[in-house]
């Protein structure tokens, strides 16, 4: 069966979150969340190079629309996180570099500054990984975190990812410094 024919719901839910595909018109809320969180995101320039420059509202809307296209084409499963209570935008969590033939992907995530420290990203990662492995048949999901980003690494560990190794000098930050990457994977 062609990847595009895979029946994947536009949204899934966890205890506190609605986890859904970006839609046209989501750019404003994503833009506001990124701008509010830029200081925290910029701490990890090699992992989040897109956060080195403040996006325009148009760029955020373009991101949402392209993410929707990628979702529909089954090239990735980019998802936005909204609190069930109050509907506030809480961040993003998604699967990238999907390889349907080999049943694997990479996961990425970030949390809006206002909602950090509440376990929402861990909840989203756990929910998206459980769904992807049990409903979509993915056998391997990798997580690449800056070795020094302990919060991101804790999210992976709490979501049943196992450290496979440290990739030395794996990324180059915008200041040309070399960064090490912790490679985690969750497998069936």
Percent of the chain scored above 90 by pLDDT?
83
Confidence (pLDDT) at 51? 81
- For each of the domains in the chain, give its residue range(s) and CATH number, in order of start: 12-187 (3.40.630.30)
Find the angle CA(66)-CA(70)-CA(75) to the nearest 5 degrees.
150
For the chain, the 3-state helix, strand and coil shares in percent, each to the nearest 5, are 35, 30, 35
pLDDT tens column, 25-47: 999 999 999 999 998 888 887 67
Q: Give dist(CA 52, CA 174) in Å, integer.
A: 8
pLDDT tens column, 138-167: 999 999 999 999 999 999 999 999 999 999
Is the Cβ–Cβ distance between 185 and 143 less than 8 Å? yes
Confidence (pLDDT) at 4? 85
Confidence (pLDDT) at 49? 79
DSSP per position, 126-166: HHHHHHHHHTS---EEEEEEETT-HHHHHHHHHTT-EEEEE
Mean pLDDT in consecutive groups of 10 residues from the start of the chain, 188 residues: 87 98 98 94 80 90 97 96 98 96 97 96 98 96 96 96 96 87 96
The DSSP call for residue 31 is: H
Confidence (pLDDT) at 153? 97
């Amino acid at each position: 069966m062609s990847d595009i024919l895979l029946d994947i719901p536009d949204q899934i839910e966890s205890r506190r979150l609605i986890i859904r595909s970006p839609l046209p018109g989501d750019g404003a809320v994503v833009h506001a969340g990124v701008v509010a969180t830029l200081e925290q995101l910029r701490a990890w320039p090699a992992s989040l190079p897109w956060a080195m420059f403040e996006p325009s509202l148009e760029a955020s809307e373009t991101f949402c629309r392209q993410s929707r296209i990628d979702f529909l084409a089954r090239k990735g499963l980019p998802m936005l996180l909204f609190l069930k209570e109050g509907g506030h935008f809480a961040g993003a969590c998604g699967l990238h570099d999907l390889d349907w033939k080999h049943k694997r992907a990479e996961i990425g995530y970030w949390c809006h500054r206002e909602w950090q420290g509440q376990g929402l990203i861990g909840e989203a990662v756990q929910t998206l990984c459980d769904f992807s492995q049990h409903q979509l048949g993915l056998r391997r999901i990798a997580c690449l975190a800056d070795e020094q980003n302990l919060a991101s690494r804790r999210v992976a560990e709490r979501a049943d990812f196992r450290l496979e190794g440290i990739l030395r000098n794996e990324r180059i930050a915008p200041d040309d410094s070399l960064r090490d990457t912790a490679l985690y994977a969750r497998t069936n």
